[in-house]
Amino acid sequence: MSTLRRKWSAALATVALAAGMFSAVASPNVFAAAAHRAPAHKKWTIGFVPGITTDAFYISMLQGARAEAAKLGVNLDVQGAAQWNYVMQAQIVNDLVTKKVNLLVIAPNDANAMIPPLKSAVKAGIPVITVDTTINDPGILVSRITSNNVQGGALAAQTLAKMIGYSGDVALMNVTPGISTTDQRQQGFLAEIKKFPKIHVVAVEYTNDQQSTASNDTENILLAHPHLKGVFAMNDVNSGGVAEALKAKGKSNQVKIVAYDAEPIAVNFLMKNEVQALIVQKPYMEGQMAVLYAYDYLSGHRKAIVKNVVLANVMADQSNKHNPAITKWYYKS
């Protein structure tokens, strides 16, 4: 769910704040179990609405969706907006309902505002699956598929702790309070970092998704805490701002950055060692699974569908950043 695009006003439902409320899935086994299924006899059309059309996270998700659709012989009708706007997204949903698509896959732009249009879709006989973000009325959904943000935050804490020798001051660079996905990342990080008593969280900043704010906040933290050893940046925008400030202050080699998401710009930072590690989601797989579950629902294989799916994140750092097992998850532009 990178976060530039989608997580500011909506994100995961309140009911999903605890990662344990989801049912975990061994996702490779999902595709293996479905490999025997023949392409659809009927040409079903799946409406696919990404959170935003221009972001690499959703572009990667659509690549996975299109690959699975081609394999299963279903049509994808991809409709979306170039900005994160639930009013525009609601109209897109209404248009797809009018077109009578067979099933709707969507990354909702708002957990509450998108409930009425999605309820209207269900009432019109169009089942709904959410990807990445979801809504605060999960009972109307066939399935919801997302990343495990608590696990990702914990993984960031483990990674940063190791990089700084399990001792020293660290800071968190978040986006906006109240966004459940980034709140979950912070939650996971803070819970995990408590396991290292010699590490002290000296600042938690909110940048409103502005790189300049992230840069200014980093400079202010350095003034107050000149011995800062690490930063967890919770999206690619923040990592860019933090890296910029550290370079300007001659601290690039002294302060370690662990960032969330693998947008092309973030991967470039990783390759140049301006960011030391990335927590990487699996949007390609989210797209695949959404289309597979859409097919399962429409073809009567409904027992194969898992209601709540959380995919674990992976970590890319200087030791594995060229490893194909990791690079396959980097987001495409």
pLDDT tens string, the chain, 333 residues long: the values are 444 443 433 333 333 333 333 444 444 456 555 555 666 667 899 999 999 998 899 999 999 999 999 999 999 999 999 988 999 999 999 999 999 999 999 999 988 899 999 999 999 999 999 999 889 899 999 999 999 999 999 999 999 999 999 999 999 999 887 666 788 899 999 999 999 999 999 999 999 889 999 999 999 999 999 999 999 999 888 999 999 999 999 998 899 999 999 999 999 999 999 999 999 999 999 999 999 999 999 999 999 999 999 999 999 999 999 999 999 999 988
Within 76-178, residue ranges assigned H as helices are: 86-98, 115-123, 149-163
What integer pLDDT is reported at residue 312 of this predicted model? 92
Q: Is domain 149-280 annotated with CATH 3.40.50.2300?
A: yes
**What is the torsional sign of CA 159, 239, 214, 219?**
positive
Give burial (CB, 10 Å; 0-12/13-18/19+) of 61.
buried
> CATH 3.40.50.2300 in the chain, residues?
14-147+281-311, 149-280
Distance CA 63, CA 201 (A): 38
Radius of gyration of the chain (CA): 20
Q: Which residues contact 303 (CB under 8 A, 6 or more apart)?
A: none
Burial track 228-245 (b if 16+ CB lie within 10 A, e otherwise): bbbbbbbbbbbbbbbbbb
What integer pLDDT is reported at residue 182 of this predicted model? 82
Distance CA 214, CA 289 (A): 34
Q: How many CB atoms lie within 10 A of CB 208?
A: 11
Query: Distances from the Cα of 49 to the Cαs of 28, 61, 132, 253, in angstroms?
Result: 24, 11, 11, 41
What six digits make up the tokens of 221? 């933290």
Q: Which of 123, 103, 24, 68 is nearest to 294 (CA)?
A: 103
Name the packing angle between helices 264-271 and 236-248 (round to 10°): 40
Distance CA 47, CA 208 (A): 31
CATH number of 14-147+281-311: 3.40.50.2300
**0.85 exceeded by the pTM?**
no
